[in-house]
Structure 1
């Protein structure tokens, strides 16, 4: 995996999304956050648990959530291996976090536009496929995350430019958060995007000779 960061350490089991460029980009934004010991952190779509572990290493009280049983097993195994106290829950996005408030929410959701449109992804593709426009979960995160933030709380979201970061900014600002793109990285098209390259070009999401994908991290803060 290109762009893998020494700050993002976790062992993925087969069938679980492994730390990649988007994980490393979000981990970089996490490192820039003031995160005092005991800060409450929620990692949604935790996968291998890499970002949850990075927050726990800094003394945060971390809850990690994933809908995949295999991901939950993997994250629990990594927490044990690295001897880090992370609460890991299985559930649909924010469902296990209802009734709590967090100083920081981390989200690396599926964001790849998929030709199958409204049909829900199955198997391993759940880790990246996100509907026709790539926003199957991004829109939910933008609607639901603000209500889980503590005063001055922050949400960090990583996504592809293919799934409309402008829409993410618009929704978060509409919820009263101060939002901006804080990190960018261009990477070569991976195997998933190459497999649907012509479809993306027909939709105008990739230019005729474009061979890279832009990843962005969006930071949104509750200012009161």
Structure 2
């Protein structure tokens, strides 16, 4: 999940408990991608890492039967509250990705996982950073979803996952392709860095994810070092 770029909620105003990821630009981008799919009554959707439940609520409003999963109890409680607030029937489970729904399969799997590269290889176990820190390359959770999601998809099922280009779009496409899925980038958006990414510019340069470390002259909002590309990955099981 993007660390701190603000945007309207995908499903209107939602409540978020402290430490729970609030809907932002990546949420909206993924919600728009869901709208372009054939989601309606009779469609089964799995939302992995639901956070506030914004995407689960959005899919339910499209008519889907929705199961939402998160590893954090505060997120589970938040998503359940928001489902009631928006008068949507959603099953919200606590668990580690697809381990929460063993043996079940879905027409769509949606995910806005943690994907921000972090100076620490160790993933946080509590607090707000748990929603975005994803190891030194930002792929600690993305790779797990790439490996787990294909088994949760029915024939013809689709994975929609949003993440930052900072954690390597091509690596995601390759990993999903090797799992036998047909992959593409369904959407892209450039958004400004928020406080977390701005604070990590030096680290990101040293990792080769931004411009040359010596080029720190342009700090304007529109410079390459102040903009993050978000991508929605679409992968279909044929």
Common fold: TM-score over 0.5: yes
Specify the alignment match of 2:235 in structure 1. Answer: 220
**Per-residue deviation, 1:55:** 0.4
Distance 1:64 1:6 in 2: 15
1:153 pairs with 2:157: yes
1:177 pairs with 2:192: no
Structure 1 unaligned spans of 5+: none
Deviations 1:158-179, CA, capped at 9 Å, x for gaps: 0001101101000111111100
Specify the alignment match of 2:27 in structure 1. Answer: 23
Q: Answer whether contact 1:111 1:134 (CA < 8 A) is retained.
A: yes
Q: Which runs of 4+ in 1 moved over 4 A?
A: 5-9
**Corresponding residue SS for 1:63:** strand
Q: Which of 106, 119, 124 is 1:121 aligned to?
A: 124
1:168 pairs with 2:172: yes
**Corresponding residue SS for 2:84:** helix
Distance 2:117 2:38 in 1: 33
Q: Higher relative CO (CA 8 A, sep ≥ 6), structure 1 or 2?
A: 2
Distance 1:146 1:6 in 2: 25
Residue correspondence of structure 1 range 97-116 to structure 2 within 5 A: 97-116=101-120
**Corresponding residue SS for 2:37:** coil
**Per-residue deviation, 1:136:** 0.4
**Per-residue deviation, 1:97:** 1.4
Alpha-carbon spacing, 1:6–1:179, altered in 2? closer, same or farther (3 Å): closer
**Corresponding residue SS for 1:205:** coil
Distance 2:180 2:98 in 1: 19
**Per-residue deviation, 1:48:** 0.2
Residue correspondence of structure 1 range 71-110 to structure 2 within 5 A: 71-110=75-114
Number of residue equivalences: 222
1:56 pairs with 2:57: no
**Corresponding residue SS for 1:16:** coil
Root mean square deviation, CA, Å = 1.3
